[in-house]
Amino acid sequence: MSEHTGFHHVPVLFEETLTALALTPQGIYLDGTVGGAGHSEGILKALHGDCALYALDRDQNALRAAAERLPAYHQVNLIHGNFHDAKELLPGIQFDGILLDLGVSSHQLDTAGRGFSYHEDAPLDMRMDQSQGLTAADWLNTTSELDITQALYDFADERWAARIAKIILEMRAEKPFETTLDLVRAVDRAIPKAVRRKDEGHPARRAFQAVRIAVNEEINPLNAALADLVEMLKPGGRLCVITFHSIEDRVVKQAFNRMKNPCVCPVDAPICTCGKLPIVSLPKGFPVAPSDDEINDNPRARSAKLRCAQKL
């Protein structure tokens, strides 16, 4: 753990990711989600000579932690920004490999003041980039009942979505949402105790996931971002993506499949007339899941999946 920032460094699927990137020592790489820089450090250790690593994060605290962890590496360029904007942030650069380790870091989850955790009472913020956008409290206080229902359903498969949204509107009419416990209370009032299942974890887990994804706009721009990132690869370069839940994994899987087989001709057409050619191949052996040992050491790795696409 870093002395100054309190960052835990337990990079998920670490060896598997470095292998998937097929690193070349003089390559140019992009870590689109540098976080505590565990993966970035692994990449930098494999590079030498005329090489570079560009590392983005939308969270300034993550960039501070990364800067503390990587002072010895002059090849690293740390940039505050969203990988959805990578094309504008890094114009004209062609990469040998790009990594996305999606979602929130352990540090963000464990820092009570950030509002990601349903275990601590804290201001309901949940923004990865605290310099812009609505906080989770603002979002819950201003979003329509229908849109809250939709987010709970789309971003967390919450089967009590409509009821939770209704209770949120009732509660906010009395007093605006301010803290994490306000959201925990809304879920507690909405989901009958008799139907709660122990194997599904904390009842507020799904609502917190959905609100976090909505506030940080994690899912809707992902498809376009993956297409941009593939465009930024050199031929033969690889895009590796680690996901942590089925909704995000489905977007990555479908985007990679579409780039592998973009043809939109009718299935019974004798020849392709749409002219859309494959952009990537999908190397064998993916998705990769963590080993039992890794899950024992780091239970948060449990739901991780690594996928990889190689530009043709």
Ligand X SMILES: C[S@@+](CC[C@H](N)C(=O)[O-])C[C@H]1O[C@@H](n2cnc3c(N)ncnc32)[C@H](O)[C@@H]1O
Instruction: Establish if 33 lies at the interface with ligand X (CB under 6 A).
Output: yes
Shortest reach from residue 248's CB to ligand X, in Å: 10
Residue with smaller CB distance to ligand X, 30 or 187: 30
The answer to whether 232 contacts ligand X (rule: CB under 6 A) is no
Residue 156 Cβ vs ligand X, minimum distance, rounded to whole Å = 17
* Composition of the chain by helix, strand, coil, percent to 5: 45, 15, 40
Shortest Cβ distance from residue 104 to ligand X (Å)? Answer: 6
Residues of this chain, 117-156, that bind ligand X according to CB under 6 A:
128
Q: Is 37 in the site for ligand X (CB under 6 A)?
A: yes
**DSSP of 78-131:** EEES-GGGHHHHSTT--EEEEEEE-S--HHHHH-GGGS--TTS--B----SSTT
Pairing verdict, β 28-31 and 280-281:
unpaired
Contact pattern from residue 63 through residue 102 relative to ligand X, giving x for each residue in contact according to CB under 6 A and a dash for the rest: -------------------xxx----------------x-
Residues in the chain: 312
Under rule CB under 6 A, residue 29 binds ligand X: no
Looking at 16, 59, 182, 294, which residue binds ligand X (CB under 6 A)? 59
> Residue 172 Cβ, how far from ligand X at the closest point, in Å?
27
Please, are residues 242 and 305 in contact by the beta-carbon 8 Å criterion? yes
For residue 147, what is the enclosing H or E element? helix 145-156
Under a CB-based contact definition with an 8 Å cutoff, are residues 54 and 120 in contact? no
- Give which of 246, 254, 261 is closest to 155, Cα–Cα: 246
Give the footprint of ligand X on this chain (CB under 6 A).
9, 11, 32-33, 35-39, 56-59, 62, 82-84, 101, 103-105, 128
